[in-house]
Structure 1
């Protein structure tokens, strides 16, 4: 959000001078002078263009691109081009603030504009210095720490200097009253941050492309070799031209309907950015950010699109929040994928080295590749045949299932390793905070995936409730333990009021009831800045059964908070899919599916969620459901067989529960995560890569537990399980898979597996599953004696 006359900028991060990604040779006098002049003219020209096409009717420019250009130029060429920033900033502001009524006002105007220009230049230089001081990789966007240093030092801290200097100069010159200092400062700062986050990564990617692709054509090549090299470079681009065209068409269409037709589809652009990251790398992703943010900005400043609002500040804050979300998400994903590629590259190098040492391994690899090719072709044929036979709704469900599997596989590595790292004693407070941020972000992404799958299953009528025995008191205590942590972090009072006549044991869908309560309590904590959240559960009435019928209890659940409240006209729409209300800063923290899913689940049970709310006072969500009451002697099997959850972090669990464990998993990253988790619990496990190896090793050795992946080469987990059922000795088989649909669980259990866990690995659920094994039940019973 930048006023027309407040066009300043912050900084972008780069590499240390000794690193080759941005080599900064000292320019000779004439080239240096030319670079300064060009930078000054570019800065001035971009500023004028931004004011004419990207400013609101109130002369507010929400994104200030000149700062992104200045920051990128400084990172590439070094401090020697900073005079160009000074001149460009001076030219960009002198015509906006110059007052020539008399010599005094003219001199004062020049001085205040000079103060703005100096602040811009100093901010750029300090941002450049901080990045060079703290960056540790060859490319700031290939590691997560590099991305965070860029976002914090260059994109956030450095613009503070710019904004402070600029607004102070305007206040001293009488252009802005001192009472408006903070508001104008924030507008100035956030527009600089947006300009740097959008344009600097894109410009740096152009520079990288030039160094790696274009400049290399003319290095150590004769003229006769240049043309063939150019053709070789362009060949992959021609092959992917259709994909590029498709991606741009989709982005332009979604951008048009979102920012020019009032359709709230703007966050659907995030999968397009993920597409660009996966297929086109840093160059494609960063330049797609420029395209998307340009469309969003041009629509918003004209009062159109998803972020359009009568309140200009709200409209622009939503726009800039959207920009920050897509930039942080895209750059973080770029870094994660880059780190993954580096790991795989090292692994590939080791594989090649081993292959060169033995012909036998080479032959085996060829056979595996051939078998994989055959299986891949078979899968393609099966998929095409199924696609013809299935209806559109089944196709959508299949697509979401596949996406869930692919997204859960890298999440398994992220969340599994983060859980292990968090328990390390060698971390400082900052590292623990960073790990918690990564963990929370991963959990948030997992919730988004599950929300999308749930809404799809509900709409297609494929969601089924799985009723089971629940010990109600224990069930509620576990929910409170989850929410208490969040309430403590925000210093809120979590008050629990449960009536004494609550039934001990009920029959309900544990997962879905927990999902609804967690969602409502999470919302209460999220939208409450201070005060309290009250969780009430009490019995409305009890219908006593007869010898031929069971008893039922009408149980009422209430969640009350002292939060921001909901406007009356929004009370009905909050239960619609993708609908979000409340303060703007909360709207980017979810999909808007939570309440819609919760309402549909409660309706399936036979109730309805209602809400009472008052702005500034708080909200109260409540629902009543009729649940079957079980005799007190019948306890939940889950509660009886599960140990104390303190064993989750017990590194001596293997001594309490001695198990011989086999892991069947073909993905090396998943192998590493599972083995590290089990080693932390004290176990030493054996690992095989497919179902055939499972059958081979179980003939030689007995195992108490087999953790079985489903999708494996040569023989999958389902087929391997069927063979194990026919063997003399049958281990306890736990499915451990990224296939997370309810139908996947039924398939695993129908095949003869004893238990089911979905990826990412949840250590608590894994420990509970181990305790449910025959050995675990024996140990548990002996301990009770």
Structure 2
């Protein structure tokens, strides 16, 4: 029995590593389908592998780092020739999610995202903070190897950083819900959920393709989804809207027509960032308030039960109350 368990552990680790690597590579290739050119460098406005990496580390532990490194290596090799910059990029793309996981654990992050502090931690530590590592290392290596001019460092760095951060903000919560929390669906609201889905599917493509710049129409849908379906509804809505907006931006249509590549990147990332922050923080705040209300209701029920026992002349343990001294 002991021998079987010792043999099983390496097999499980190998399968898990290969699965993480495959998921990372698939997400990377999916993200590379939509690219923008900033100062001669090709960047992805939404890079899903960073979200996949952070979610895997939070769910399955730091042992997933090897699968992330293998997946990052395969993604980089699929678009460039091997060299020093490849090793540095892979290292940065591996260290950044690991640092994000460590910082989130340090502050007591919960994968349920049921507290406002969890949403804030994911935004400022997991996304905006940790992804500085990958963007800085990647841009520095491009300059050091002569593939990028020094004057173009900051635009490329900013685009790289925001693309990685958007992957964490949009993809990680969806994966945490799908693989970790699995909230119970409210079947009593299926008609409302169906109606919201139909409106999102119709309105979002229109808003992202219209030349009238009506992207703001997406925000009421995010608020509706957050109020009625909390994190599940808001993040799925944000994910769909971000994908459709990214497609419109890379195609140069709708509100992104007649804009330069840098202007497209700025407008797209500003919209995706504000939308992800709205969906994540609003839904986390609503969930926290609902949990607090349930706790208060439970405490009130327990207090009523205690008062009923006392009114009946018994203590909660079923013993008679202590005798009282007569008044003199």
After superposition, where does 1:351-750 map in structure 2 within 5 Å? Answer: 351-357=300-306
Corresponding position of 2:98: 125
TM-score relative to the length of structure 1: 0.36
Q: Give the match for residue 197 of structure 2.
A: 248
Q: 5+ residue gaps in structure 2?
A: 1-7, 309-328
Of the three residues 80, 83, 92, the one matched with 2:75 is: 92
Mapping 1:24-423, distance limit 5 Å: 28-52=9-33, 54-56=34-36, 59-98=42-81, 109-135=82-108, 138-139=110-111, 141-210=113-182, 236-237=186-187, 239-357=188-306
Deviation for aligned residue 1:206: 0.8
SS across alignment from 2:78: helix
Does the 8 Å CA contact 1:277/1:330 hold for their aligned counterparts?
yes
> Are the aligned partners of 2:207 and 2:217 in contact in 1 as well (CA < 8 Å)?
no
CA contact 1:273–1:285 (8 Å) conserved in 2 = yes
SS at match of 2:259: coil
Query: TM-score scaled by structure 2?
Result: 0.84
1:207 CA drift (Å)? 2.0
Deviation string 1:749-768 (CA, Å, 9 cap, x unpaired) is xxxxxxxxxxxxxxxxxxxx
Q: Give the CA deviation at 1:87.
A: 1.0
Structure number with higher strand proportion: 1
Match of 1:729 in 2: none
Deviations 1:615-672, CA, capped at 9 Å, x for gaps:
xxxxxxxxxxxxxxxxxxxxxxxxxxxxxxxxxxxxxxxxxxxxxxxxxxxxxxxxxx
Contact 2:112-2:181 at 8 Å conserved across structures: no
Q: State the Cα distance separating 1:88 from its structure 2 match.
A: 0.9
Gaps of 5+ in 1: 1-26, 99-108, 214-232, 360-785
Q: Residues of 1 paired with 2:83 and 2:173: CA distance?
A: 33
Does the 8 A contact of 1:254 with 1:265 survive in 2? no
d(CA) in 2 for partners of 1:201 and 1:326? 14
Q: CA deviation at 1:342?
A: 2.3
1:17: which partner in 2?
none
Partner Cα separation in structure 1 for residue 117 and residue 307 of structure 2: 39
Deviation at residue 310 of structure 1 after TM alignment:
2.1
The worse-fitting range, judged by mean Cα deviation, of 72-81 and 38-47 is 38-47
- 1:201 is paired with a residue of what secondary structure? helix
Cα gap change, 1:60/1:188 in structure 2, threshold over 3 Å: closer, same or farther? closer
Closer, same or farther in 2 for the Cα pair 1:289/1:165, shift >3 Å?
Answer: same
Instruction: Give the Cα separation in 2 of the matches to 1:143 and 1:154.
Output: 15
Distance 1:149 1:209, change over 3 A: closer
8 Å Cα contact 1:44-1:91 kept in structure 2: yes
The alignment's C-alpha RMSD in Å is 2.3
* Structure ID, larger Rg: 1
- Separation in structure 2 between the aligned mates of residue 112 and residue 56 of structure 1, nearest angstrom: 20
Q: Is the 8 A contact 2:54 2:168 kept in 1?
A: yes
8 Å contact kept, 1:309–1:315: no
Contact 1:127 1:154 (C-alpha < 8 Å) held by counterparts: yes
Q: Which deviates further from its counterpart, 303-312 or 287-296? A: 303-312
The alignment of Structure 1 onto Structure 2 pairs a total of residues equal to 299
Structure 2 distance, partners of 1:327, 1:308, is 23
Instruction: Note the C-alpha offset of 1:160.
Output: 0.8
- Distance in 1 between the 2:142 and 2:282 partners? 40
Distance 1:263 1:254, change over 3 A: farther
Contact 2:112-2:177 at 8 Å conserved across structures: no
Mapped contact 2:73–2:90 kept (Cα < 8 A): yes
SS in 2 for 1:175: coil
Could you say if the C-alpha distance between residues 154 and 140 of structure 1 is closer, same or farther in structure 2, counting changes exceeding 3 Å?
Answer: farther
- Higher RCO structure, 1 or 2 (CA under 8 Å, sep 6+): 2
Q: Give the secondary structure class of the aligned counterpart of 1:96.
A: coil
Distance 1:164 1:335, change over 3 A: same
Which is helix-richer, 1 or 2? 2
Separation (CA, whole Å) in 2 of partners of 1:267 and 1:208: 32
CA separation of 1:111 and 1:60: change in aligned 2, threshold 3 A? closer
Q: Displacement of 1:154 after TM fit?
A: 0.9
Aligned to 1:756: none
CA pair 138-121 structure 1, distance change in 2 beyond 3 A:
closer
CA distance in 1, matches of 2:174, 2:193: 17
**Residues 140, 150 of structure 1: 8 Å contact kept:** no
**Contact 1:85-1:121 at 8 Å conserved across structures:** yes
| 8 A contact 1:116–1:162 mirrored in 2 | yes
Cα deviation for residue 179 of structure 1 reads 3.2
**CA offset digits 1:259-287 (Å, max 9, x no partner):** 11223221221121121112222222212
For 1:358 and 1:307, the matched residues in 2 are separated by 65
